Amino acid sequence: MTTLSQTKEIFRRADAVCFDVDSTVIREEGIDELAKFCGVGDAVTEMTRKAMGGSVTFQKALMDRLSIIRCSREQVNKLITDHPPQLTTGIKELVDNLHQRNVNVFLISGGFRCIVEHVASQLSIPLHHVYANRLKFYFNGEYAGFDESQPTAESGGKGRVINMLKEQYGFKDVVMIGDGATDLEACPPASAFIGFGGNVVRPQVKERCSWYVSSFGELLKELEKI
């Protein structure tokens, strides 16, 4: 694991910064919001907690939760319209600052592409920089499952995406920022990991990373040292 000073140095010179989305870039967990909207909130929230704690495989947790939610395309669209994802304070300023420095910014999420794309557009992140799970619907709009071939649909998927980005773009220094176990395990191949506790603190993540922040202002401050 990199030390605190090494992590800060890698962040300052990074070619690419990858953000988790749920409870990091946005305040809520998208799947929990979708479950609440579909009337099965409590059952799904408990399963999300277990998934984030790393006690069940990510794909199994995703499959189990979606089999309870069974959302239609119409419900997903209505959720985004009626309850758009709430950006975490400071994320827009941080992403703008990184873009001004010609740092590539990516969103890598175990959440759903339809929601994450909405977030990306608010942050001026190009949609080809979004990696997330795809929901599948029948022609009548009813839930038909999810695309299990996406790397983000399984444990270790975020690391696989980062490996792919390094190969595709030739990035040397890639930083992963997130709140959960799936973010932490993406380093390596990420050069450094920064734990984020501004929305929810996960003790098993906080204990295992050298740089843990509770606001994006701390990261902005670090960039100002350049």
How high is the mean pLDDT of the chain? 87
Q: Say how far apart CA 46 and CA 65 lie, in whole Å.
A: 10
What pLDDT score does 15 carry? 92
Q: Is-catalytic flag, 32?
A: no
Q: Range of 60's domain?
A: 32-82
Greater pLDDT, 54 or 164: 164
CA distance 34 to 174: 31
Question: 199 and 110 share a domain?
Answer: yes
Beta strand 174-178 pairing with 192-196: parallel
pLDDT, tens only, 121-151: 999 999 999 999 999 999 999 988 888 888 8
Interatomic CA distance for residues 84 and 146, integer angstroms: 21
Contact 62, 188 (CB under 8 A): no
Among candidate residues 15, 22, 147, 179, the one labeled active-site is 22
Residues 125 and 71 both lie in one domain: no
**For residue 48, what is the domain's CATH number?**
1.10.150
| 131 token code pair | 């990696």
CATH code, domain carrying 194: 3.40.50.1000
Q: Which of 92, 80, 86 is nearest to 19 (CA)?
A: 92
Contact predicate 156/108, CB 8 Å: no
Q: Looking at residues 43-53, what average pLDDT do you find?
A: 70
Q: Which of 15, 20, 147, 183 is catalytic?
A: 20
Both 45 and 105 in one domain: the answer is no
The reply to whether 46 and 90 lie within a common domain is no
Instruction: Count the Cβ atoms, other than its own, within 10 Å of residue 99.
Output: 14
Task: Answer yes or no: 20 catalytic.
Answer: yes
Considering the domain architecture, whether residues 78 and 89 belong to the same structural domain is answered as no
User: What is the number of structural domains in the chain?
Assistant: 2
CA contacts within 13 A on the Cβ side of 29 = 20
Is the same domain home to 15 and 45?
A: no
Higher pLDDT, 58 or 79: 79
Same-domain pairing of 103 and 200: yes
pLDDT of residue 90: 92
Residue in the structure block whose two tokens are 């600052």: 97
Same domain, 72 and 51: yes
Residue 121 sits in the same domain as residue 180? yes
pLDDT, position 111: 85
- Output the pLDDT for position 50: 67
- DSSP, res 11: H
Examine the pLDDT at 156 and tell me if it is beyond 90: no
Q: Are 142 and 76 in a shared domain?
A: no
Do residues 161 and 60 share a domain?
Answer: no
Q: What is the pLDDT of residues 24-41, one digit of tens each?
A: 999 888 888 889 888 888
This prediction has a pTM of 0.88
Of 42, 66, 82, the residue that ends a domain is 82
The neighbour count for residue 116, using CB atoms within 10 Å, is 27
Give yes or no: residues 95 and 196 share one domain.
yes
